[in-house]
């Protein structure tokens, strides 16, 4: 099988290939084993990982190295609003208070996870085991056995701890707008998946950077899965 790692604005379109040296880790995990994926191969629109998926469910996860970037003053408000974070106004106000120039630096880190099932679903709950990412979406029911009309429950964890009252967004293949939701007091969210197709669930954290050259660290996490027709 081939796993395609791509960055873009239109899910699930493959757009910009991730450079191989951006990958901090690429892992697979089954009920009995775990390991590292072979080094990815650059293609036109994606970095491709090839793997032999065994029987049952395999979880694949990728973490990218932090990458520095910059925004001009007129871009800051638009960028913060685009992130979908709960404290957008406060973040912008703090930036305006502390900004020393017309340009601000930030670092972003991306985390991605998906699931593959070969054959019948097994009795393991490997899909519910954390992959060890800083910011992670962890399904609470089998994401490889979803059919149209059912509900997916997911736990959002930051540094291994549930993140309560926090926004997440669910985007379906072909949909123009995401379904927005908020985790409950235990960091969980229940999401209806009304139609068959491919889905991406995402969440983002913005926080002060530990790097003196950057104002913020931005952490993006995604979880992709597929829903079958009834």
Count how many domains the chain has. 1
Phi, then psi, of 77 in degrees rounded to 5: -60, -45
pLDDT at residue number 14: 94
pLDDT at residue 202 greater than cutoff 80: yes
Flag whether 168 is in a domain: yes
Residue 213: the pLDDT is 82
In a domain, 158, yes or no: yes
Considering only CA atoms, which of 188, 149, 152 is closest in space to residue 170?
152
Whether the Cβ atoms of residue 37 and residue 28 lie closer than 8 Å to each other: yes
Residue 121 has pLDDT above 80, yes or no: no
In this structure, is residue 75 part of a structural domain? no
pTM over cut 0.75: yes
Structure tokens at 134: 């800083």
pLDDT digits (tens, 9 = 90+) for 148-178: 999 999 999 999 999 999 999 999 998 989 9
Sign of CA dihedral 66, 67, 68, 70: negative
Render pLDDT for 34-64 as a digit per residue (tens, 0 to 9).
999 999 999 999 999 998 877 899 999 999 9
Structural domain range at position 159: 2-70+80-227
pLDDT at 122 > cutoff 80: no
pLDDT of residue 101: 84
């Amino acid at each position: 099988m081939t796993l395609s790692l791509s960055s873009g604005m239109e899910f699930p379109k493959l757009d910009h290939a991730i450079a191989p040296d951006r990958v901090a880790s690429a892992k697979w995990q089954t009920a009995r084993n775990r390991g590292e994926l072979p080094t990815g191969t650059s293609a036109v629109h994606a970095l491709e990982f090839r793997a032999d998926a065994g029987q049952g469910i395999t979880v694949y996860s990728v973490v990218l190295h932090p990458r520095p970037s910059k925004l001009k003053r007129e871009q800051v408000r638009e960028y913060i609003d685009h992130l979908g974070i709960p404290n957008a106004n406060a973040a912008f106000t703090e930036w305006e208070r502390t900004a020393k120039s017309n340009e601000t630096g930030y670092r972003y880190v991306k985390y991605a996870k998906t699931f593959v099932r070969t054959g019948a679903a097994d009795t393991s709950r490997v899909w519910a085991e954390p992959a060890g990412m800083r910011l992670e979406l962890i399904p609470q029911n089998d994401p490889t056995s979803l059919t149209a009309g059912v509900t997916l429950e997911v736990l959002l964890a930051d540094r291994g701890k549930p993140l309560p009252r926090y926004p997440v967004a669910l985007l379906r293949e072909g949909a123009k707008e995401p379904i927005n939701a908020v985790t409950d007091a235990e960091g969980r969210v229940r999401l209806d998946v009304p139609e068959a197709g491919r889905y991406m669930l995402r969440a983002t954290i913005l926080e002060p950077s530990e790097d003196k050259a950057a104002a913020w660290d931005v952490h993006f996490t995604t979880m992709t899965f597929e829903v079958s027709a009834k």
